[in-house]
Amino acid sequence: MKRNSKVLILTAKYGNGHVQVAKTLEDKCKQMGFSKVIVCNLYSESFPVFSEITQYLYLKSFSIGKQFYRLFYYGVDKIYNKRMMNLYFKMGHKRLHQIVTSEQPDMIINTFPMIVVPEYRRKTGTVIPTFNVLTDFCLHRIWVHENIDKYYVATNHVKEKLLQLGIHPSTIKVTGIPIRKQFEEKMDLNEIYEKYKLDPDKKTLLIVAGAHGVLKNVKELCQSFIKQSEHIQTVVVCGNNTLLKETLDPLATQYPEQFSVLSYVERIDELYRVASCMITKPGGITLTEATAIGLPVVLFKPVPGQEKENAHFFEDNSSAIIINQIEDIFDEVNQLLADDLKLQKMRDNIKKLHVPNSSDIIIEDMIKEASYIRDKKVMAGSVNY
């Protein structure tokens, strides 16, 4: 397949990770000379009102909706082949057909598990090379379909899960999860300390609430460290949660040498580089970014589903600590920050999980796979391409 071909990247805004991976792959495709890169939030374009409601419910699953999300995530296998899944199989079919007809993409990349894409091939016979880029360190069954040509996964652990479901080894590649190139750059740490007005002689605790600011008990966490640990400086990134920032601003004013609070930070990799450890939620992209820098993570109250599975994978690899109770977090984080040997071991372990240049590896491999699929179809005399 020629690099000046068209690629369709499908994503969905359930959390920030799927969209961020789509953007990283879009940038790489443009850099490599694709004639056109179409990025489509398929569900939002097909059913805008329904999409808004379900995105809202997704965010609420981190607080009041945990049991509902647990039921969906762990119970989907029981309904996977039943009538209740038929709607999900069909969602976005009309919009997908419009894009395929008008744009005629040479390959399709999914950064969200959209069954409508492989189902479209099954129903229409139209064979467009289709690839899934998994965005977590665990596998959910809904990513898997017989009409997916190749899976790009974070680790051998995820590959093993796919193999157990009968997926052929040749259609799985361990590539890591694509993240922004800035996480693999070299930087002067002194400039970062100066930019954020941080003391290089103190340990730095970074608290990242997520792009939507959904990490809970942030104010209580901050108050504990401010009042009891003068040797630690705490930085909180609130993401787009304006209310959370407004709640924390008085603390930053009162304790300027111990505490600072920020909104969304585009170059958050800078803070990763000077942090001693980070308290965060275990999203696949955040964790991948931490592997690139070598930043030990404390995972607070992971919710059931992919984030809990991510958390256990990192804990099993001695790269993270899971803490579920607010009353335990101060002592455990304080002990970790006082233990330089343990921090260094966690840094070493988490860096071992990093796969550099993930987006390069993925797009280069997709180009080869798409060419192979096209040649195979031409030889077979297929007209549905």
Lowest mean pLDDT among 9-13, 147-151, 274-278: 9-13
For 98-110, how does the pLDDT look when each residue is reduced to its tens digit (9 = 90+)? 999 999 999 999 9
What letters, b where the CB count within 10 A reaches 16 and e where it falls short, cover 12-40?
A: bbbbbbbbbbbbbbbebbeebebeebbbb
Among the listed ranges 34-38, 214-218, 276-280, 293-297, which one has the minimum average pLDDT value?
A: 214-218
Structural domain for 89, as ranges: 6-176+356-380
166 and 60: one domain?
yes
**Do the domain assignments include residue 215?**
yes
Asked if 376 and 272 sit in the same domain, the reply is no
Q: Over pLDDT 70: what percentage of the chain? A: 82
**Residue 324: is it exposed, middle or buried by C-beta count within 10 angstroms (0-12/13-18/19+)?**
exposed
Q: Tokens for 276?
A: 């001693």
Q: Looking at the chain, how many residues does it have?
A: 385
Q: Which residues pair with 233 in a beta bridge?
A: 204
120 and 155 share one domain: yes
pLDDT at 385: 46
Tell me the backbone φ, ψ of residue 210, rounded to 5 degrees: 95, 160
Q: Is there a single domain that holds both residue 194 and residue 319? A: yes
Q: Which residues, at least 6 apart from 9, have a Cβ–Cβ distance to it below 8 Å?
A: 22, 25, 26, 29, 37, 38, 39, 40, 108, 109, 111
Predicted confidence band of residue 325 (pLDDT cuts 50, 70, 90): confident
Q: Give the per-residue pLDDT at 228.
A: 75
Is 328 a member of any domain? yes
Same domain, 91 and 157: yes
Average pLDDT on 201-211 reads: 87
Q: pLDDT at residue 231 above 90? A: no
pLDDT for the residue 46: 63
One domain, residues 144 and 277: no
> Residue 157's domain is classified under what CATH number?
3.40.50.2000
d(CA 58, CA 60): 5
Which residues on adjacent β-strands are paired with residue 260?
A: 235
Residues 337 and 361 in one domain: no
Q: How many CB atoms lie within 10 A of CB 371?
A: 16
Whole-angstrom Cα distance, residue 357 to residue 216?
A: 33
The answer to whether residue 303 scores a pLDDT higher than 70 is yes
- Does pTM top 0.85 for this prediction? yes
* CB < 8 Å & 24+ apart, contacts of 317-322: 317/349, 317/350, 317/352, 317/353, 318/345, 318/346, 318/349, 319/291, 319/346, 319/349, 319/350, 319/353, 320/282, 320/287, 320/296, 320/346, 320/350, 321/296, 321/297
Nearest partner of 148 among 136, 163, 164, 133, judged by Cα: 133
Asked if pLDDT for residue 328 goes beyond 70, the answer is: yes
With bands split at pLDDT 50, 70 and 90, how would you rate the model's confidence at 59? Answer: low
Assess whether pLDDT exceeds 60 at residue 126.
yes
Over residues 32-50, mean pLDDT? 79
Distance CA 138, CA 305 (A): 10
How does DSSP classify residue 321?
A: E
In a domain, residue 1? The reply is: no
In a domain, 385, yes or no: no
Same-domain status, 275 and 299: yes
Binning pLDDT at 50, 70 and 90, where does residue 383 land? very low
User: How sure is the predictor about 55, in pLDDT bands with cuts at 50, 70 and 90?
Assistant: low
**Confidence (pLDDT) at 157:** 97
Distance CA 55, CA 49 (A): 10
Given pLDDT bands bounded at 50, 70 and 90, which one contains residue 115?
A: confident
For 133-186, the pLDDT digits (tens) are: 999 999 998 899 999 999 999 999 999 999 999 999 999 999 999 999 999 999
Examine the domain organization and report whether 82 and 137 are in the same domain. yes
Other C-beta atoms lying within 10 Å of the C-beta of residue 53: 11
- In whole numbers, what is the pLDDT of the chain averaged over residues? 86
Angle 360-168-151 from CA coordinates, rounded to 5°: 30
Q: 236-252: per-residue pLDDT in tens?
A: 999 888 888 999 999 99
Give the pLDDT confidence score for residue 165 in this predicted structure.
95
Predicted confidence band of residue 213 (pLDDT cuts 50, 70, 90): very low
Q: Which segments of the chain does DSSP mark as H helices, in order?
A: 17-31, 42-46, 48-60, 66-79, 86-90, 93-103, 116-124, 156-164, 189-195, 218-228, 242-254, 268-274, 284-293, 306-316, 326-338, 340-352, 358-380
Per-residue pLDDT at 273 exceeds 90: yes
For residue 253, what are its two tokens? 């004013």
Indicate if 268 and 360 belong to the same structural domain.
no
Burial of 254 (0-12, 13-18, 19+ CB in 10 A): exposed
The burial class, CB within 10 Å (0-12 / 13-18 / 19+), for 342 is middle
CA torsion angle for 62, 65, 71, 77 (degrees, to 10)?
A: -60
Quick one: pLDDT at residue 45? Answer: 63
How confident is the model over 79-90, as a mean pLDDT?
56
Mean pLDDT, residues 179-207? 95
> Residue written as tokens 């300390």?
193
Tell whether 115 and 207 lie within a shared domain: no
Position of tokens 């111990």?
258
At 245 the pLDDT is 92
Q: Are residues 153 and 257 located together in one domain of the fold? A: no
Highest mean pLDDT among 58-67, 321-330, 335-344: 335-344
pLDDT on residue 343: 97
Q: Which of 208-222, 224-238, 265-279 has the lowest mean pLDDT?
A: 208-222
Q: Per residue in 331-369, pLDDT tens?
A: 999 999 999 999 999 999 999 999 999 999 999 999 999
By DSSP bridging, strand 232-237 and strand 203-208 are parallel
User: Does pLDDT of 275 surpass 50?
Assistant: yes
Domains of the chain: total = 2
